[in-house]
């Protein structure tokens, strides 16, 4: 990519050789933990602070959803510990991840806890922050671009737009241990608010059904996105009432993000189910 040089196996991603001073170690020999947002997958969407801390770290504890391209920004000599989860498969339980972060920092290491998207949005970053700070270890959040932002930018449409969407809400489409969804459907079923549903593939039929039952128009555009901002990105556009069936016919790799609302019709170059596409959407979307 333009503007990227490689030094010692780590992508500098535009820092142009700026000095990377290591963090000051605590006087007691205690290390620290930084909860870093890796963004949706494109390494050029990392913040400069995230990149700097990755290159200063002694160890990177990373999730499954962190892309290989982002991991390439970590220097080759830095220890890497994968702790990723998938739906129904948690090889390293959250409690063990919390304990690992504390153990590593107490041994004097600078720990980069690298999480896909933003660590404060459906990433359990709050639990890790509480565990680390409760142990008396310095810890900071380093924000990342969340999946909804990455998907919208990649497909070249806005999440809010005058006359189409006056608000934006992020909700989870999955509950721990497959518990029933207990979302406030009545408040979510607002056609003037863009709804970004994370991790909703398994429950998309229920989500669509409840939103429609509580007043959201059944023909509202709904966009499914997988692996946003990466070369493997896939999209599927349908109506709210048809999105579950469209996804069943052509499944996308999980996790799948759903963006529901008028602005979704503005997405560029979607793979559209022919029977669900309505050309008048683009006329509406552009006023």
Q: Mind telling me the catalytic residues? A: 63, 85, 199
b/e map 81-92, b = 16+ CB within 10 Å: eebebeeeeeee
CA 6 to chain centre: 26
Q: How far apart are CA 273 and CA 51, in angstroms?
A: 39
For residue 51, is the peptide bond before it cis, meaning its omega torsion is within 30 degrees of 0?
no
Helix H segments across the chain? 48-56, 68-71, 94-106, 125-134, 147-155, 185-188, 204-213, 243-249, 280-285
Q: How far apart are CA 103 and CA 251, in angstroms?
A: 40
């Amino acid at each position: 990519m333009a503007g990227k040089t490689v030094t010692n196996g780590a992508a500098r991603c535009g820092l142009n050789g700026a000095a990377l001073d290591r963090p000051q170690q605590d006087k007691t020999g205690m290390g620290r933990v930084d909860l870093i947002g890796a963004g949706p997958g494109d390494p050029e969407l990392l913040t400069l602070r995230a990149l700097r801390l990755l290159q200063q770290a002694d160890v990177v504890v990373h999730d499954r959803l962190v892309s290989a391209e982002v991991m390439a920004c970590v220097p080759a000599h830095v220890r890497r510990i994968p702790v990723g989860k998938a739906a129904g498969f948690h090889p390293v339980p959250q409690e063990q991840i919390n304990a690992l972060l504390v153990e590593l920092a107490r041994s004097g290491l600078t720990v980069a806890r690298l999480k896909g998207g933003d660590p404060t949005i459906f990433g359990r970053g709050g639990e890790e922050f509480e565990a680390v700070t409760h142990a008396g270890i310095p810890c900071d959040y380093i924000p990342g671009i969340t999946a909804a932002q990455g998907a919208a930018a990649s497909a070249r449409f806005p999440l809010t737009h005058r006359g189409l969407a006056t608000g934006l809400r992020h909700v989870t489409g999955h509950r721990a241990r497959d518990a029933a969804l207990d979302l406030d459907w009545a408040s979510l079923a607002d056609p003037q608010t863009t709804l970004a549903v994370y991790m909703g593939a398994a429950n998309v039929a229920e989500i669509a059904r409840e939103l429609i039952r509580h007043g959201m128009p059944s023909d509202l555009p709904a966009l499914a996105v997988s692996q946003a901002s990466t070369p493997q990105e896939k999209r599927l556009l349908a109506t709210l009432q048809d999105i579950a069936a469209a996804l069943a016919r052509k499944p996308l790799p999980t996790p799948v993000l759903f963006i529901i609302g008028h602005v979704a019709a503005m997405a560029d170059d979607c793979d559209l189910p022919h029977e669900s596409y309505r050309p008048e959407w683009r006329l509406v979307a552009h006023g």
